[in-house]
Chain A
Amino acid sequence: MFPVKELKRSALTSLWFAFLTFPIMVVKVDPIERVVSWRWDNMFFIAFGSFVFSILAKVFIIQKERRASKKKQKTISEPLVQRIVREPRFLYPLALACFIFGISFPFLFSTYQTNIMTTALMYVVLGLGLNIVVGVAGLLDLGYVAFYAVGAYSYALLNYNFDMGFWTVLPIGGLLAALLGIILGFPVLRLRGDYLAIVTLGFGEIIRLVLENWNDFSQGPSGIANIPRPSFFGMDMTFAGGITYIYYIILVLVVLTIFVVNRLQNSRLGRAWLALREDEIACEAMGIDKTKTKLIAFSLGAFWAGFVGVIFAAKTTFVNPASFTFLESAIILSIVVLGGMGSIIGVVIGALILILLPEYLRALSEYRMLAFGAILVVMMVFKPGGIISNVRRNYKFKGLSVVEGKNNE
């Protein structure tokens, strides 16, 4: 069943791997004892492991090709998930069930679980925000975490210096981040693709380094502590109560974000973003103001990050620059890519998977980055559009009038 030729190839691959990793995995020099230890057993594990992996990958690829050729013979059938997303009679009850589950979550599970879920939901909003920029408008932004940091620090600093409350700062944080998005956007948005990615990456690092080094302003690496949790009409809350409260705030924000992003995607503006992603020159020739449209996408994405930043500061009651490294940007970007660029449900699922999995697989936490890489590579090979790729809106016409315009999500 499995061709011998492939077995040979896998064997060669594993030998090559064993050879490549020889210097780091086998040879170990102990400079104090002045001895060299040879760990030959490692070599065996690597050879065996890569052999098994390469065979598995090949099996998957063969199966995928078979499925693809079968599909060509039949009519192309939509995948199940896509169909659920398209049909309102499946989608609405499902959304309602999710919402009810979301509301009852703190009563069903422990405070610890609620806390983890809060984090996951924060990443849902971050993912949806970045989705506007990367997924819909096609601007690869690797410095998204900078806007998150701006939100978090605006709550921390405004509270520390001027004693402003959570609810006052929440919109201010969002607006400040959006403003920064516009300021950054002006010089940067003439760039495209890789160049834009590099500049935004640099920008993200600049913000972090400023926060780290400007001691008078942000208290440097030691950060700002004792940030108050949000108040509920001036009532004092227990520790657990506070966590549940923040959970509900973020839950409402998630619902709000999904609503707003969905409406934006199905609007004149959303279409312009999509067109911009597909072909900039054609876009301009069709009368779309490139700069304006890009700036709106950039600042709207930043706005959500600022929102979540404020909530982050309130949740952890402590901020320091270490929370806003490039790794955060990478995680949020992975959420968008893994979930499916431009797809709201995809991003929600992607965020829950990427944030909840490591939490429940604590034992593997050291291999998190490795797992990220592996998951993304596998995704790109087998499902390049993400878990749920974006479904185009369907229009139906009878005569000249619009009968029905189904939303994609």
Chain B
Amino acid sequence: MSDSPIILKVEGLSKYFGGIKAIDNVDIDIRQGEIVALIGPNGAGKTTFFNCLTGIYTPTAGDIYLSDPRNGKTTRLNGKKPNKITEIGMARTFQNIRLFPTMSVLENVMIGRHCRTKALIFGAVFRNKATRIEETQIIERSYELLKKIGLHRQVNEEARNLSYGAQRRLEIGRALATDPFLLLLDEPAAGMNPKETEALVALIREICAEGHSILLIEHDMKLVMSLSDRIFVMDYGKKIAQGTPEEVRENPAVIKAYLGEDVDA
């Protein structure tokens, strides 16, 4: 893994809300094809970190560079709009599920295809050949993705009627529809039962094997330890450790952050 190119490089990223340092000088890098986990206690700044990467927040300081392994182009993401960042090739899911509740399952995924297609008013009204072909491609690609995440039997169901686990999978499917090379998953296993989690692990492995790199926030340690190539640990907005699952497990700073000071010491 260590020889594959770096696709995401974050240098000295900070985000302050007034006097609160939600993220303080964090460096992270992700290589092509890796599954990287970002862990830390509640309130450590993990989701804020995601929001900075995806353009929902503007960072106070630091640089974010994203390079597309497909053409080697590197872009600085600071100050870019969320939709531009998705267009470059980084898609995300949300911690508190953000599907389009009254749209059908298929339509949710079709929205993901939006940034890869072009038809506007003219195409919509006159439905010329190019638009019709594009529309068919959107539908077929979305259906393929639904098959992959196992929701193809519920294409016409409204998204809000899906079970919790299915909604989380649909979010992943929708993010995949934007053709990302880096996928950010914010607590994908939250609220899932053990069986659903198992299926999720298999799904994430499959996505990774297809050439997508993955950065995930997760609290389920079993999932994190079994899945990730490398782990970054954050606490109080600072990066306190990084390394392979084994290294992080033994790291005294991590144990302290999760379990508190040793009383006997």
A binding-site residues for B, Cβ under 8 Å: 260, 263-264, 267-272, 274-275, 278-279, 281-290, 296, 300, 392-395, 397, 400-402, 405
Contacts and interface: CB of A to CB of B under 8 A. Distances in A.
A278 B121 CA distance: 21
B144 A400 contact: yes
Interface in B83-127: 83, 86-87, 91-92, 94, 98-104, 106-107, 110-112, 114-117, 119-121, 123-125, 127
B178 to A, nearest CB: 5
Main secondary structure of the interface of A (DSSP, over half): helix
Contacts of A267: 119, 123-124, 131, 135
B100 A278 contact: yes
Interface of B, secondary structure class, is helix
A392 B100 CA distance: 13
A274 B100 contact: yes
Contacts of A285: 54, 56, 82-83, 86, 91-92, 94, 98
B223 interface: no
B136 interface: yes
Contacts of A278: 100-103
Interface of B: 54-56, 81-83, 86-87, 91-92, 94, 98-104, 106-107, 110-112, 114-117, 119-121, 123-125, 127, 131, 134-136, 138-140, 143-144, 152, 155-156, 158, 174-175, 177-178
A263 B156 contact: no
A282 B124 contact: no
A275 B100 contact: yes
A264 B114 contact: no
B111 A284 contact: no
A270 B107 contact: no
11 contacts: A263-B127, A267-B123, A268-B117, A281-B98, A285-B86, A285-B98, A287-B86, A287-B91, A287-B178, A392-B103, A392-B104
B135 A287 contact: no
A400 B140 CA distance: 7
Contacts of B100: 274-275, 278-279, 282
A401 B104 contact: no
Contact of B107 (A271, A289, A290, A397): A271
A275 B101 CA distance: 9
B125 to A, nearest CB: 5
